[in-house]
Amino acid sequence: MRHRAAAAAFLLALPLAAGAQEVPKDATQVAPKETPAEAPRDAAQPEPNRQQANAAKLAGLIRFVGESCQDVRPDYERFKSVVAAMGVDLDAISKGELLMRSMSYTEAYRKNVEESCRKATELFGEKGTSIPGLVLRKAS
């Protein structure tokens, strides 16, 4: 009897110690609540939106083409106008998380330089199927 009373007191003390949360009858049917560890890393710096992420991809491509492709070069003015048309401030992709993302794309393109340059020309060259005129042939 004494052990039952101690066990009951212990079970009653758990919800009180956890902030007076109600303990469900069947804990397997309740989804876990969000913990502070699952909260965003920095509430002041929200996750980039889709347009910003796409602008970061383009910035990575432009950097790669400028540094690694022998036959083509980026059109920086066209790049700036495309980013502006996406509604993204060029300064936003020049620092912080978006800069890191764009640099990771540049590194990914470097894994196969020849293929990446060919694909950049195909998608972003003068007659590109994605954004024409972003990548131009170098003058001979």
- Render pLDDT for 15-41 as a digit per residue (tens, 0 to 9): 333 343 443 344 334 333 443 344 344
Range of the domain at 83: 50-137
Closest C-alpha among 120, 127, 138, 135 to residue 78:
135
Instruction: State which H helix or E strand residue 129 sits in.
Output: none
Its pTM stands at 0.64
Q: Round to whole Å and give the CA distance between 73 and 139.
A: 9
Q: How many domains does the chain have?
A: 1
Q: How many helices (H) and strands (E) does the chain have?
A: 5, 2
Contact 79, 134 (CB under 8 A): yes
- Render pLDDT for 62-95 as a digit per residue (tens, 0 to 9): 999 999 999 999 999 999 999 999 999 999 999 9
